[in-house]
Amino acid sequence: MLSEEDKFKEYLESKNLKFTPERQAILSRVFANPKHFEADELLVDLRLNKLRISKATIYRTLSLLVKSGLLREVIFGERHAHYEQVYGNEHHDHLVCNNCGKIIEFIEYRIEKLQDEVCRKNKFEPESHRLQIQGLCEDCTKKDDNKIKKK
Amino acid sequence: MLSEEDKFKEYLESKNLKFTPERQAILSRVFANPKHFEADELLVDLRLNKLRISKATIYRTLSLLVKSGLLREVIFGERHAHYEQVYGNEHHDHLVCNNCGKIIEFIEYRIEKLQDEVCRKNKFEPESHRLQIQGLCEDCTKKDDNKIKKK
DNA sequence: ATAGCTGCAAACGATTTGCACCCGG
DNA sequence: CCGGGTGCAAATCGTTTGCAGCTAT
């Protein structure tokens, strides 16, 4: 399998776009540790690593990373996007704790299979899907009588 | 089963809130025809029915309708919310066409059951979930060679 | 009477864009 | 060399809020 960088270069070339130092820096920080993140967190992470890149460029590059298939947007229901790596990772879905915000990933092939079946029945050609279950994680179920704190 | 209006009144009373003409008007238009809509469309629909209600009030009321369990937010991945009725409707999920925007609803109990199983395995207490599959609907698959038009 | 409402306009917050200058291929 | 890239600041756009004057209960 190609490295993330090669995969990205491949995409950029195919679109006649350039592999700039800014894009290189963003790519490397995004793949430095595998975790969900949002645009602002990436900005902070870059700053911590002495990389001053403008917000505009961050947004423009994230969009390219999504188009190239290296990232995907996840966890909506807030008014800003979250991202996670896709390249080289198995597809998974999310349990999102409404109290502490914890995110548990899970893989369930039988659900995927049923989704395919639904698509077939509706003659629908799937490209991607997104399943998330909101609720309370184990820890938060225990302190259930606490008020739900809004982040 | 209570009417939507009674259900809403019940909720408002329980929270010491008032059933105003504006809230009544919004409620009735929202339940006038069962379809997905967004805040702006509701505003237009109200205007067409000679009901001048400010955007602020619309947003405030939609939020109450969601809290009262009469509506839910669906179809994210855009930067604005869509709503649909829940009260009296069976839970369902969505196929969203990336080309024409058409939305097909489906109900698949086996998926719901597997979700419960996933939650049990993770000791997670589910409150709600959201599943959507993006892709191309039957019609758009046929004219597949057309460029994807961005709305 | 008095919480709670409403409309208006200003504030917000994430994201996008216009622009003048810069640089990778 | 030149088409695409970058930072900056201003612009968008859906949504939220402060405020002053209303109104349901």
Report the nearest residue to nucleotide C12, CA vs C1': A79
Q: Considering CB atoms only, which of B111, B130, B133 is closest to A119?
A: B133
Rg (Cα) of chain A, in Å, rounded?
Answer: 18
Write out chain B's pLDDT in tens, 151 residues: 788 999 999 999 999 999 999 999 999 999 998 788 999 999 999 999 999 999 999 999 999 999 999 999 887 677 889 999 998 788 899 998 887 878 899 999 999 999 999 999 999 999 888 899 989 999 998 875 444 333 3
Residues of chain A with CATH 3.30.1490.190: 91-151
Q: Which two tokens stand for residue B87?
A: 């009260």
Residues A78, B138: Cα–Cα separation, whole Å: 31
CB B122 to CB A106 under 8 A?
A: yes
β-pair partners for A141 = none
Q: Would you call A120 an interface residue with chain B, using a CB distance cutoff of 8 Å?
A: no
pLDDT at A82: 92
| Phi, psi at B76, each rounded to 5° | -100, -170
Q: pLDDT at position A78, please?
A: 80
Q: How many whole angstroms separate alpha carbon B26 and alpha carbon B57?
A: 9
Which pLDDT does position B150 carry in this prediction?
33
Where, residue-wise, is CATH 1.10.10.10 in chain B?
1-89
Residue B75 in contact with residue B36, Cβ under 8 Å? yes
Instruction: Verify whether the Cβ–Cβ distance A131 to B136 is below 8 Å.
Output: no
Q: B15: which nucleotide lies closest, measuring CA to C1'? A: C4
Q: What pLDDT is stored for residue B146 in this prediction?
A: 44
Which residues are within 7 Å of strand C by their Cβ atom?
A 18-21, 38-40, 55-56, 59-60, 63, 79-81; B 12, 16-18, 20, 22-23, 52-57, 60-61, 79
Shortest Cα distance from B103 to chain A (angstroms)? 11
| Bases of strand D lying below 7 A from some protein CB | 3-9, 13-18, 23-25
| A145 CB within 8 Å of a chain B CB | no
- Provide the CATH number for the domain formed by B91-151 in this structure: 3.30.1490.190
Pairing of strands A71-74, A82-85: antiparallel
Q: What is the DSSP string of A9-42?
A: HHHHHHTT----HHHHHHHHHHTTS---B-HHHH
Please name the amino acid found at residue A131: L
Predicted pLDDT of residue A149: 37
In the prediction, which pLDDT does B144 show?
A: 56
> Which residues of chain A are within 8 Å of residue B137 when distances are taken between CB atoms?
122-125
B99 class by beta-carbon count within 10 Å (0-12 exposed, 13-18 middle, 19+ buried): buried
- Rg, C-alpha atoms of chain B: 18
Percentage of residues in chain A having pLDDT higher than 70: 94
The residue that minimises its CA distance to C1' of C25 is A18
Nucleotides in chain C near protein beta carbons (<7 Å):
3-9, 13-18, 23-25
Q: Is B72 helix (H, G, I), strand (E, B) or coil?
A: strand
Tell me how far CA of residue A46 lies from CA of A32, A68, A110, B30, B90, in angstroms.
11, 21, 39, 46, 46
Query: How many C-beta atoms surround the C-beta of residue A69 within 10 A?
Result: 12
**Inter-residue contact A69 to A86 (CB < 8 Å):** yes
State the nucleotide closest to B59 in CA–C1' terms: D15
Residue B131 sits at the chain A interface (C-beta within 8 Å): yes
Q: What pLDDT, on a 0 to 100 scale, did the predictor assign at position A148?
A: 36
Residue of chain B nearest A133, judged by CA positions: B129
User: CATH number for the A1-89 domain, one of 3.50.50.60, 1.10.10.10, 1.10.150.110, 1.10.3720.10?
Assistant: 1.10.10.10
Q: Which residue of B has its CA nearest to A124?
A: B137
* pLDDT less than 70: residues of chain A: 76, 144-151
Name the DSSP letter for residue B37: B
- Does the CB of B145 have a partner CB in chain A at under 8 Å? no
Please check whether residue A63 is in contact with residue A6, taking contact to mean a CB–CB distance below 8 angstroms. no
pTM to 2 decimal places:
0.85
Q: Is-contact B95 B87, C-beta < 8 A?
A: no
Token pair 């993140």 is at which residue? A37
Q: Judge whether A46 and A55 are in contact, CB under 8 Å.
A: no
